[in-house]
Structure 1
Amino acid sequence: MEKGEKIIHVVHSFYPVVGGIEKAVYEVAKRQSKKYDVTIITSSQVPNGKDDLHVVRIRSVRPFGMPDLTIPLIIPDLSEAKVVHYHSQNSFFSYRILSKHDNNVFTIMALNSLKSHPNPVIKILSPIYSQILIKRVLKYSKRLIVKNERDKVMLEEIYGKESYIIPDGVDDMFFTVPKTSSFKEKIGGDYVLYIGRLHPLKGVNVLIKASKKINSKVVFIGPGDVNKYEKIAQKEGVKDKCIFMNYVDDLTKIAAIDSSKAVIIPSISDYVEAFSIVLSEAWSREKTVIASSVGSLPYRISNGIDGILVRPNDPEILAETVNQVVENDINLGKEGRRKVLNWDNVTEMLEKVYEE
C-alpha cells in the first residue's frame, strides 16, 4: 500500500466503550494512521469520547440493548477506501454495511459461538442468525483474518475457507515497566486477580462463589455494575474477601498483575473469549493464568505448561485449582510470555495481509 491511502475500519462498538474489540481496533488504527488515511466507522450508540482518530458515528438503533444487534440506519459510501476492514461476523452492523468492495478484509471472531450463549432465546436463534451473516461475510470478503487456531480450523473444516491468524497484541509497557510488589500492600495480603468486564458471561458470579473456598483475597478490576456484584458477594458471605476496583489505568493494572498470585479468567461462554487480551497481558508479566476451557483459551494455553485450564462454571474446581497454585507458588507465566506480540507486530502483520 502507498502512503496516504485510505483504510476504513467498520466496527459496531468503539472507545470510550472498554472491551477487547474496541481495544484492538483502536491500537491498530492508531498505528496505521501514522502512514495511512484511517477512518473508524462505528455506531451512534457509542458515546462520544476524546477521539484522537477520525471516528464517524453513523445513526443506528440497538434492539434490546445488545451491541451485536446494532442496526445502521445509514449505509456509508466506502468506494474511496483502498481497504475496508470489518470486525466480527456476529455483528449485524458490519453485516449491513458490508459491500462488494474490491478489497474487503474481515476479522472473524469466536465463530459459531452464539450456540454456547446461556440466554435460551439467543441459543435457539443463533444457528439461523449466524448462518445468514456468515454467508454474506464469506461471499464478499477477499481476505479472512482470525485471532486464533480455533477459528482457523473451523473456517477450513466447516466452510472450506483459508484465513490468516493475526492475534491481538499488548502495549509495550507490559514488557518494559519494572516489576513491582507494591499493590500487595494496598490489598493487605495475598490475592488472585480478575481483569475484565463485570458480566455474567465472564464468569464473575462463578469466581465470587469460588472465593468462599479460595484461601486468599480476590481482586476484580474492570468496568461494570460494581454495586451489583458487591451485593452478590455480600449475599455469598464473601464481601470482605472480594475487592472490586472498577476500571484502572494500565500502570495500575500492571502493578496489580505483578503483585497477584495468579490471574483468573473464569468465563463461561465461547462467545466472550474470541482471544483474551488479558491472557496476553498476564503472560507479558510472566504471571500464571488459570482459565476456563472456553473459546480461544484451550487453543492458546498449553495446559500445565504455560497456564492451567479448568472446567467452566464450576466454582469448586476453580477454588481447588487456585489454592494449589497459590500454596505451591506455581509459576507458568514465563513460558506464556514467548507467545505474546506487541501492537506494532500486529499492525505489521495486518499490512502484509492488506497488500497480498
Structure 2
Amino acid sequence: MKIAFLTSEFPHPKIGSSGGIGTSIYNLSKGLIQLGHEVSILIYGQNEDDFFVENAISYYRIKNVKLKGFSRLLTQKKIQNLINRLFEEKKIDLIEAPDWTGISSNIKPNCPVVIRLNGSDTYFCHLEKRPVKFINKYRERKALQNANGLISVSKFTADITNNLFSLNRNFTIIPNSIDVEKFSNVSFSDRNENTILYFGTLIRKKGLLELPLIFNEIYKINNQVKLILIGRDASDVISGNKSTWKMMEDLFDENAKKNVDYLGSKDYSEIKEYICESTICVFPTFAEALPVSWIEAMALEKAIVASDIGWANEVINDGVEGFLVNPKDHLQYAQKVMQLIHDKNLRTQFGVEARKKVIKKFSIEVVAKQSFEFYQKVVK
C-alpha cells in the first residue's frame, strides 16, 4: 500500500523543528516501510516547495500561500491539488492527517482520509481548563466529521474527543510506537545514583509547575537526591510569562534548588544516555494523548513515576511497570519517588516489566501492522 502523511512537522534537517507528532509519524513510517509499504510525507508550512527521496521516504515540502485572510484556505486547496495529483499518478492510496487545528477540514481529496488523534487544540484546552478558540473547534469538528476513518492513540483521548465534539463516531485505538531496537542499550544503567530525570518540553500542561513542589518534598526526605531537566523552555499561555523555567525557579526551596540542573534542549540522540544514567524518570503531566517519552524510558528499563490522569493506565499498570500518582499530591508523589530511589530491586522489577510491555504493545512492528490493517479496511 502507498500511504501519505500530512503534517506540519517531521524530524528531518530540511524540515525544521519537530515534536512528538513528527516523531510518531517517523516511527510509524519506518514500521510500514519494513512491512513493504511505500510512504510519502507531505509537510506544509515550509519556506519553499521541494521534493526529495531519502531512506525510501518521498518528501513533499509545501510552502504556504500568503494572502491576508485567505492564506489557510488557499494553502488547503494547494494541498488538495497535490494529493489528487499523487493519487491520480498512483503514488498514494490514502492520506493520514492529524487532528490538530483541523488542517484537513477544507481538503476534499479523491482518496480516503484517515485522522489520527494525538490531541486536538479543543482536547488540550479542555484538559487544561482554558477556553478554546471557536474557529479551531469548528475546524477540528469538521475535519473529524469528513474523515473516512478515525484512529486514536488512546481510548481516553477518543472518549473525550467524542464527547467534546458530540461526534458519536467509532475510533480504532492504535497507540504511538517506538523503535525498540534503538532503545535497548542499558549499559549505563544507574551510573548517577540518586538522580531523577525529567525530559520533555518545560510547559505547564506537563506538570512542570508541580515538579518543583514535588522536589522540595523529596529534598526534605533525602538531600542527596538530584533533579535533572532536559527540554525546550516554553512560554506560559495562562500567565503570559515567556519562560516556564523562570517560573519554576521561584518555586524551588532555596536549598533544594542547589540540587537542580536544567540542561536545556539536547539532541534526540543524546537523551537516551541521560535516561540510562538516571535512577528514575518522572512525568507529572496533566495533558497528553499518549506520551512517547514514557514509552522510551520504559523501553530502556527505567522505573517511572508518572501522572495518574486519563490515558496513564493505558501505558502503565500502577505498581507493575511504574507508579501513577496525582501530580498535585506533592507528598505522595515524593514518597513514591523515594521508594524507588531506595529500592533497587523494585526499580529493576518495574524496568523489566516495562520493557516487556513496550515490546508487546508499543513496538513499531506491532503498531505498523495494526495501522496497515486499518488502512486496508478504509481503502476497501
Same fold (TM over 0.5): yes
Verify: 1:93 aligned to 2:103, yes or no.
yes
Shift of 1:315: 3.3
Q: 1:60 to 1:300 in 2, by over 3 A?
A: farther
CA distance in 2, matches of 1:210, 1:60: 47
CA distance in 1, matches of 2:297, 2:29: 24
CA distance in 2, matches of 1:345, 1:86: 21
Structure 2 equivalent of residue 124 of structure 1: 131
Shift of 1:328: 3.3
CA distance in 2, matches of 1:181, 1:239: 25
Between the two proteins, the alignment pairs up a number of residues equal to 330
Structure 2 equivalent of residue 57 of structure 1: 62
Q: 2:42 aligned to 40, 43, 48, which one?
A: 40
Q: Could you tell me which amino acid in structure 1 is paired with residue 353 of structure 2?
A: E
CA distance in 2, matches of 1:130, 1:321: 39
Structure 2 equivalent of residue 248 of structure 1: 266
Listed one character per residue, the Cα deviations across residues 333-352 of structure 1 (whole Å, up to 9, x for unaligned) are 32222321322332232222
Structure 2 equivalent of residue 218 of structure 1: 227
Shift of 1:249: 4.2
Structure 1 equivalent of residue 27 of structure 2: 27
Q: What are the within-5 Å matches in structure 2 for residues 1-356 of structure 1?
A: 1=1, 5=2, 7-15=3-11, 16-30=16-30, 32=32, 35-36=37-38, 38-44=40-46, 52=54, 53=57, 54-59=59-64, 71=72, 73-75=74-76, 76=79, 77=81, 78-79=83-84, 80=87, 81-88=92-99, 90-96=100-106, 98-110=107-119, 113-118=123-128, 123-125=130-132, 128=134, 132-154=138-160, 159-181=167-189, 183-184=191-192, 189-214=193-218, 215=222, 216-224=225-233, 228=243, 231-232=246-247, 234-235=249-250, 236=252, 237=254, 238-250=256-268, 252-268=270-286, 270=287, 273-329=288-344, 330-331=346-347, 332-340=350-358, 341-356=362-377
Contact 1:12–1:93, Cα closer than 8 Å, also in 2 = no
Contact 1:267–1:292, Cα closer than 8 Å, also in 2 = yes
Q: Could you tell me which amino acid in structure 2 is paired with residue 345 of structure 1?
A: V
C-alpha RMSD of matched pairs (Å): 3.4
SS in 2 for 1:95: coil
CA distance in 2, matches of 1:19, 1:57: 19
Listed one character per residue, the Cα deviations across residues 142-180 of structure 1 (whole Å, up to 9, x for unaligned) are 111111122344567753322222211122334432432
SS in 2 for 1:192: strand
The higher radius of gyration belongs to: 2
Shift of 1:290: 1.0
Q: Could you tell me which amino acid in structure 2 is paired with residue 41 of structure 1?
A: I
- For structure 2, which runs of at least 5 residues remain unmatched after alignment? 236-241
CA distance in 1, matches of 2:118, 2:205: 16
Q: Could you tell me which amino acid in structure 1 is paired with residue 103 of structure 2?
A: F
Q: 1:170 to 1:31 in 2, by over 3 A?
A: closer
CA distance in 1, matches of 2:260, 2:369: 41
Contact 1:181–1:259, Cα closer than 8 Å, also in 2 = yes
Q: Could you tell me which amino acid in structure 2 is paired with residue 303 of structure 1?
A: D
Q: Could you tell me which amino acid in structure 1 is paired with residue 371 of structure 2?
A: L
Report sequence identity in percent: 20
- For structure 1, which runs of at least 5 residues remain unmatched after alignment? 62-69
Contact 1:12–1:94, Cα closer than 8 Å, also in 2 = no
CA distance in 1, matches of 2:207, 2:285: 4
Deviates more, 1:307-316 or 1:16-25: 307-316
Contact 2:102–2:141, Cα closer than 8 Å, also in 1 = no
CA distance in 2, matches of 1:72, 1:217: 50
